[in-house]
């Protein structure tokens, strides 16, 4: 159905206002309370600054970036990134319905976050995360690969099937600074990857759940030639991981994908790995940047003290 002007025909979806689209987006039943609150904060600010009646299709990335800068330029990186992720989710949702063709978050850069050193995931919890029977195959493989390889999450998500050397349990990635290097994994990941790949021979290793909307067709390198689905995005992978790990987190916030890397390097340091070995696994080129991963956990201190307790029973 369309509305006709004297010059052209405009799709009805393009006439949806920002206010109408925001209300429809927030009325979704698949949003939990925390996500709804976060999305609502971002959209309220957008609506207040730009107006409810402005056509959504007429908004530009410049306008969205100006709102973000005015509202959250002084906020913590985590807050900035959370609102940026919310805007990207809203834009993707609207694009799938033909309401917008512009990526409103295109000019809003993700900001580096200072990670909490104390947020290492203990070994028992890592074991539970990796063995969770309710997790789908894609997420299960991503968790194991991220933890076993200690690679950055964006590096793991950038892997293509043709980058893998399954026989030798390794894959080739492009790291920071454009350096090409190998990441390595263990038997847990090795058992899952063939099932994840199936009959595919090329394209992204980790795929999104469905094909992208025509208005948001990604670059050819991010499309699977066998299924037509796009590469799984960092934002989506992070969201799913946080949501599914809340039950394992005593603070009920869920864990981040970076914490898998952080925890793996900390655990290996506790096991006696040398700094050069850790750097070889993680891809760090400066030993000082590795230091934050080598702080032993309370769990390790407790285990060491228990082992050396004079009253400990000896077999």
Q: Mind listing the pLDDT tens digit for each residue in 130-166?
A: 999 999 999 999 999 999 999 999 999 999 999 999 9
Q: In this structure, is residue 307 part of a structural domain? A: no
pLDDT 10s digits, 220-272: 889 999 999 999 999 999 999 999 999 999 888 899 999 999 999 999 998 98
Q: In this structure, is residue 198 part of a structural domain? A: yes
- Residue 93, pLDDT above cutoff 60: yes
Lowest model confidence (mean pLDDT) among 27-31, 79-83, 186-190, 275-279: 27-31
Q: What's the mean pLDDT in 195-210?
A: 95
Closest Cα partner for 263 from 255, 252, 275? 255
- Integer CA distances (angstroms), 59 to 3, 15, 101, in order: 20, 12, 10
Contact 105, 243 (CB under 8 A): no
Residue 1 is predicted with a pLDDT of 36
Q: What is the percent of the chain where pLDDT is above 70?
A: 86
Query: How would you write 170-225 as a 3-class SS string?
Result: EEEEECHHHCEEEEECCHHHHHHHHHHHCCCCCCECCECCCCCCHHHCCCHHHECC
Angle of helix 234-245 relative to helix 77-96, nearest 10 degrees? 110
pTM over 0.75: no
Residue 77 belongs to domain spanning: 2-96
- Residue 9, pLDDT above cutoff 80: no
231 SS3 class: strand
Greater confidence, 183 or 275?
Answer: 183
Query: Do residues 206 and 129 both lie within one domain?
Result: yes
- Residue 275, pLDDT above cutoff 50: yes
Query: Do residues 162 and 293 both lie within one domain?
Result: yes
Residue 199: which pLDDT band, with cuts at 50, 70 and 90? very high
- Residue 10, pLDDT above cutoff 60: no
CA 247 to chain CA mean position, Å: 18
Q: What's the mean pLDDT in 212-226?
A: 84
Contact 57, 101 (CB under 8 A): yes
- Residue 174, pLDDT above cutoff 90: no
Contact 121, 161 (CB under 8 A): no
Residue 28 is predicted with a pLDDT of 85
Query: Do residues 241 and 277 both lie within one domain?
Result: yes
- Residue 118, pLDDT above cutoff 50: no
Query: Do residues 179 and 254 both lie within one domain?
Result: yes
Residue 300 is predicted with a pLDDT of 65
Q: Tell me the β-bridge partners of 121.
A: none
Angle of helix 77-96 relative to helix 33-50, nearest 10 degrees? 80
- Integer CA distances (angstroms), 301 to 120, 179, 270, 295, 298, in order: 14, 36, 9, 11, 5
Closest Cα partner for 206 from 139, 135, 136, 133? 139
The long-range contacts involving 174-180, CB below 8 angstroms and separated by at least 24 positions, are 175/283, 176/283, 179/283
Domain harbouring 169, CATH code: 1.10.443.10
Lowest model confidence (mean pLDDT) among 194-198, 211-215, 271-275: 211-215
Query: Do residues 91 and 216 both lie within one domain?
Result: no
Q: What is the percent of the chain where pLDDT is above 90?
A: 62
**What is the Cα–Cα distance from 297 to 309, expressed in whole angstroms?**
18
Residues 6+ apart with CB under 8 A from 281: 149, 150, 184, 265, 268, 273
Q: What's the mean pLDDT in 6-24?
A: 69
Domain harbouring 92, CATH code: 1.10.150.130
Tokens of 237: 């992978």
Q: Tell me the β-bridge partners of 2.
A: 11
Query: Do residues 68 and 136 both lie within one domain?
Result: no
Q: In this structure, is residue 314 part of a structural domain? A: no
Residue with tokens 């709102």: 67
Residue 225 is predicted with a pLDDT of 94
Query: Do residues 272 and 187 both lie within one domain?
Result: yes
Q: In this structure, is residue 228 part of a structural domain? A: yes
Closest Cα partner for 139 from 241, 288, 279? 241
Mean confidence (pLDDT) of the chain: 86
Residue 129: which pLDDT band, with cuts at 50, 70 and 90? very high
Count other C-beta atoms under 10 Å from residue 249's C-beta.
16
């Amino acid at each position: 159905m369309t509305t006709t002007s004297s010059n052209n025909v405009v799709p009805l979806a393009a006439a949806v206002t920002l206010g109408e689209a925001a209300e429809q987006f927030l009325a979704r039943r698949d949003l939990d309370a925390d996500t709804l609150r976060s999305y609502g904060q971002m959209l309220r600010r957008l609506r207040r600054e730009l107006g409810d009646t402005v056509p959504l299709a007429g908004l530009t990335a410049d306008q969205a970036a100006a709102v973000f800068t005015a509202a959250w330029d002084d906020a913590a990186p985590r807050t900035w990134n959370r609102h940026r992720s919310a805007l990207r989710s809203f834009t993707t949702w609207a694009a799938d319905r033909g309401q917008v063709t512009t990526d409103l978050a295109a000019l809003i850069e993700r900001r580096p976050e200072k990670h909490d050193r104390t947020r290492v995931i203990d070994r028992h919890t890592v074991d539970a995360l990796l063995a969770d029977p309710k997790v789908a195959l894609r997420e299960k493989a991503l968790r194991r690969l991220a933890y076993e390889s200690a690679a950055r999450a964006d590096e793991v998500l950038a892997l293509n099937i043709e980058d893998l050397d399954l026989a030798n349990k390794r894959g080739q990635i492009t790291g920071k600074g454009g350096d090409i290097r190998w990441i390595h994994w263990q038997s847990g990941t090795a058992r899952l990857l063939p099932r994840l790949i199936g009959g595919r021979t090329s394209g992204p290793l980790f795929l999104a759940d469905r094909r992208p909307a025509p208005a948001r067709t990604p670059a050819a390198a991010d499309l699977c030639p066998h299924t037509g689905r796009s590469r799984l995005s960092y934002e989506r992978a992070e969201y799913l991981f946080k949501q599914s790990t809340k039950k394992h987190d005593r603070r009920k916030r869920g864990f981040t994908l970076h914490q898998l890397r952080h925890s793996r390097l900390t655990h290996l340091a506790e096991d006696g790995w040398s700094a050069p070995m850790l750097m070889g696994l993680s891809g760090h080129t400066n030993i000082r940047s590795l230091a934050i991963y080598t702080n032993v956990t309370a769990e390790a201190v407790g285990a060491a003290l228990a082992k050396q307790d004079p009253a400990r029973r000896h077999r």
